[in-house]
Structure 1
Amino acid sequence: MSTTGRRGPAGAASGALDVVRPGTLTTVQDLGRPGYAHLGVPRSGALDADAHRLANLLAGNGPDRATLETTLDGTAVRVRTDVTAAVTGAPCPVRIDGRPAAWGAPVRVPAGAVLDVGGAVGGLRSYVAFGGGIAVRPVLGSRATDLLSGLGPAPLEAGQQLPLGVPGRPPGAVDAVPLPAPPAELVLPLLLGPRADRFTDAALRGLPEAGYRVSAASNRIGLRTEGPPLGRADSAELPSEGMVLGAVQVPPDGLPVLFLADHPVTGGYPVLGVVPVDRLGAAAQAVPGTPVVFLPVHGRTDPADGPAGPHPR
């Protein structure tokens, strides 16, 4: 059993969680490690950043504290000390020692109790915050699990122990919590370029009606699509070039891939365009089979990271 918690004089761990049920894929996430793409390090971090921030707010944390990001079937942990917790993101049943507890609100979990976050009833990913945050050791300033590079802690395993940080302010009263419905249709604005000229005019004109759907092969690296291949005007190979968060790359099969938090920072396939970062939270919650509509737009978008150097924010 991994013992990464703090230890007191008697050797007993304190301020920690014991993983009872890890779930299909539960990872530690914060706001990621932007600014290292020039070193080959992806941004990583919570895929649904708004849900992550809200969970922290409800638990009395700042937005940078680490949470647990669950995928589809939740997780269960036993707490070693009294702690405030909150669950947001994909709606799901929440239980404390088998008794129903609130989703989207601060709940007090007594020492020794099991907090069980059930399977998502809409969307894919839930976020579980604890007062003080998950206090695993940071790597390059972040506690986020990066599945592509292997940085940060590994996905949760049964019997693992996770340390908690020192709680900050008490959680404030909450009147209402926003509950965005998982998208019935994922509509993604697409700023065309830099390689849109590699595709036929007919392919670009037909994007909004192309009939793409979210593929079950999607993951934290990218949202893959199913549908008609995009027609190429130029099939010549490209040298490897920098990729940003939200880039839509088109591999040889012609099916667009939307790069998410754990995306590679370089690639050799043409980038059709870039989806604004503030629209990626919906992509994090889109279940396989969800229709995807790419809407070409004109203007500028903030890619949030890039290969040239540290991001100014």
Structure 2
Amino acid sequence: MNRLEVLATGPLTTVQDRGRPGFAAIGVPRAGALDRGAAAQALRLVGAAPSAAVLESLLGGLEVRVRDACWAAVTGAVAAVEVEGRPVPWGRAVRVPAGARLRVGTASHGLRTYLAIGGGVALPPVLGSRATDTLAWVGPPAIAVGDVLPLDAAAGPPGIGDALPPVTAPILRLHPGPHAGRFADGVLDGLLGAAYRVASDSDRIGLRLHGPAIARTAAELPSEGMVLGAVQVPPDGQPVVFLADHPTTGGYPVVGVVDPRDVDRCAQVRPGDVVRFARA
């Protein structure tokens, strides 16, 4: 079995796949790649199975060395990619020779890069998934320098084509939430089109936004189930978009739910970027 050695991780690198749906009732988030489309692109490019695991890296800075020759691809945030110090294309399958180092530079456009290599990272699954959940830390721990990770064999030949760079100043289409009676009249209309800046404490749990405060007319609710893309409104009125590692329950009212087609975009906006909401 091929293996890769981790030489550098950047600010945060985790193993991610399509996540572990179906365990919310026991308090386990779905987790999985935040930018699901970019992760799937990387896997297609190297000929790995759609269910295989990739390395998700915040801002890039990941460096690995492979034991045996294999295919690799970097998608998501745009960054310089090198093999043994030589530039290779971003967003395209590249051949990595046995013993060679692959380095992903700092992201220049977007926030999270995805490295698919070989047939995917082959760590043992937990509850049916290899994804790292950063809320409850179910699954593998965050990747550390010196880790040696097993790789599966590719399921097929490398794919043809180039990945697309992420949309990083997005419009997020919004469906009305379940708690209309907990907000002042016209709040949803006021939210649509308003500019919100991404806060620096955003993470895999939630995209935290700063902008016009959303007026609530009632206190918190009894805790109830939460879904991916739910836009919760805490007491300060600043919305939070729930992402892959979000808690499975919550007591703050939900003003809307981001359309599933747009949730991936939340993975690639940086602190200080502006997002807007539109009616789905």
Normalising by structure 2, report the TM-score.
0.96
Determine which of 50, 62, 71 is the counterpart of 2:37: 50
Whole-angstrom distance in 2 between the partners of 1:84 and 1:52: 15
After superposition, what is the alpha-carbon deviation per residue over 1:81-123, rounded to whole angstroms, capped at 9, x for unaligned? 1111111111110001111111111111111111001111100
- 3-state SS of paired residue (2:142): coil
Is the Cα contact below 8 Å between 1:82 and 1:108 reproduced in 2? Answer: yes
Consecutive aligned runs of 4 or more in structure 1 exceeding 4 Å deviation: none
Q: 1:288 matched to which residue of 2?
A: 271
Q: State the aligned residue count.
A: 280
Q: 2:149 matched to which residue of 1?
A: 162
Q: 2:28 matched to which residue of 1?
A: 41
Determine which of 52, 56, 61 is the counterpart of 2:48: 61
Whole-angstrom distance in 2 between the partners of 1:250 and 1:198: 10
Determine which of 69, 72, 77 is the counterpart of 1:85: 72
1:145 aligns with 2:132: yes
Normalising by structure 1, report the TM-score.
0.86
Q: 1:192 matched to which residue of 2?
A: 176
1:275 aligns with 2:262: no
- Where do 5+ consecutive residues of structure 1 fail to align? 1-13, 298-313
* Distance of aligned partners of 1:122 and 1:238 in 2 relative to their CA distance in 1, 3 Å threshold: same
TM-superposed CA distance for 1:239, in Å, is 0.5
The aligned amino acid for 1:289 is G
Whole-angstrom distance in 2 between the partners of 1:90 and 1:138: 26
Is the Cα contact below 8 Å between 2:194 and 2:276 reproduced in 1? Answer: yes
* Distance of aligned partners of 1:56 and 1:181 in 2 relative to their CA distance in 1, 3 Å threshold: closer
The aligned amino acid for 2:205 is I
The aligned amino acid for 2:26 is L
1:177 aligns with 2:127: no
TM-superposed CA distance for 1:205, in Å, is 2.4
Q: 1:136 matched to which residue of 2?
A: 123
The aligned amino acid for 2:192 is P
The aligned amino acid for 1:115 is L
Determine which of 196, 203, 208 is the counterpart of 2:192: 208
Whole-angstrom distance in 2 between the partners of 1:167 and 1:40: 33
Whole-angstrom distance in 2 between the partners of 1:30 and 1:219: 17
Determine which of 232, 241, 246 is the counterpart of 1:258: 241
Whole-angstrom distance in 2 between the partners of 1:94 and 1:74: 10
Identity among equivalent pairs (%): 56
TM-superposed CA distance for 1:204, in Å, is 2.5
Determine which of 229, 243, 249 is the counterpart of 2:232: 249
Whole-angstrom distance in 2 between the partners of 1:104 and 1:180: 8
Whole-angstrom distance in 1 between the partners of 2:166 and 2:113: 13
- Where do 5+ consecutive residues of structure 2 fail to align? none
Whole-angstrom distance in 2 between the partners of 1:279 and 1:68: 22
Q: 1:223 matched to which residue of 2?
A: 207
Whole-angstrom distance in 2 between the partners of 1:209 and 1:59: 39
The aligned amino acid for 1:15 is N
TM-superposed CA distance for 1:35, in Å, is 1.2
The aligned amino acid for 1:183 is T
After superposition, what is the alpha-carbon deviation per residue over 1:146-189, rounded to whole angstroms, capped at 9, x for unaligned? 000111111111111111112221214x2x324144322x2111
* Distance of aligned partners of 1:223 and 1:291 in 2 relative to their CA distance in 1, 3 Å threshold: same
* Distance of aligned partners of 1:181 and 1:89 in 2 relative to their CA distance in 1, 3 Å threshold: closer
